[in-house]
Amino acid sequence: MTRQTVKPAFPAGIYGITAEKFSVGRSNIEVARRMIEGGIRIIQYREKRPQKSFAQMLEECRAIRALTREAGVLFVINDYPDLALLVDADGVHVGQDDFPVPEVRRLIGPNKLIGLSTHGPEQAAAAVEAGADYIGVGPIFTTQTKEDVCAPVGLGYLDHVVRTCPLPFVAIGGIKEHNIGEVMALGAKTICLVTEIVGAEDIAATARRLQAACR
């Protein structure tokens, strides 16, 4: 197994997230393959138990890790540092109620990315202090992608992060092709659209169009 020795840079553009529930019958592996074809440079694997067993998730992540490594695409795993270590992912993304960033760092080492979801200025400041490599900023708009999602934080929090936070960030939550311009106008460089991509009839073409919009 290859072990990276340098922490990867966080890329601008579209941040892809798997969501098999919304991918109209396509597997996470197929969705990841199409995202890569569409030029997406970072993909997060997001699945939950008990919908999938750890064995199923491990099999999927190994396949996606092979695809992303061949294409030079970053691969991040949501919530599960152990799964990230097993497949040698490039990083882990955690939420406010998951393992704290310093504990995740102890597990995965110094050379992998740690992302932390944040929903307000205090959490953004705490993420910097905790040693996160990047933060999630959202949900910007109302979203039904996650069952346990908090209320929208709006564009005001995004503006605060753009002006004050030293960390790279990904804007996420309810972002669609029709409102991505509002997010970009405030200075967001990395943007996540979930259902807009995984539910698209042509994922690769949609990803290419959205990537071009981010330039």
Q: Which domains are assigned to the chain?
A: 13-213 (3.20.20.70)
Q: pLDDT tens across 19-64, in order? A: 999 999 999 999 999 999 999 999 999 998 888 999 999 999 999 9
Q: Which helix (H) or strand (E) holds 76?
A: strand 74-78
Strand partners, 76: 44, 91
Q: pLDDT tens across 62-100, in order? A: 999 999 999 999 999 999 999 999 999 999 999 999 999
Please answer whether residues 162 and 187 qualify as being in contact, where contact means their C-beta atoms are separated by less than 8 angstroms. Answer: yes
What is the reported pLDDT for 91? 98
| pLDDT, the chain, mean | 95
Catalytic residue flag (residue 48): no
- pLDDT greater than 60 at residue 2: no
d(CA 95, CA 24): 26
Q: Which of 33, 46, 105, 112 is catalytic?
A: 46
Catalytic residue flag (residue 112): no
Alpha helices in the chain (DSSP H): 28-37, 54-71, 81-87, 101-108, 121-130, 154-164, 180-185, 195-198, 203-213
d(CA 127, CA 187): 20
What is the reported pLDDT for 1? 47
What is the reported pLDDT for 3? 60
What is the reported pLDDT for 48? 86
pTM, two decimal places: 0.96
Q: What is the mean pLDDT of residues 149-161?
A: 94
CA angle 53, 95, 36 (to 5 degrees): 65
14's tokens? 């579209």
- pLDDT greater than 80 at residue 4: no
Q: Which of 146, 189, 208, 209 is catalytic?
A: 146
Catalytic residue flag (residue 106): no
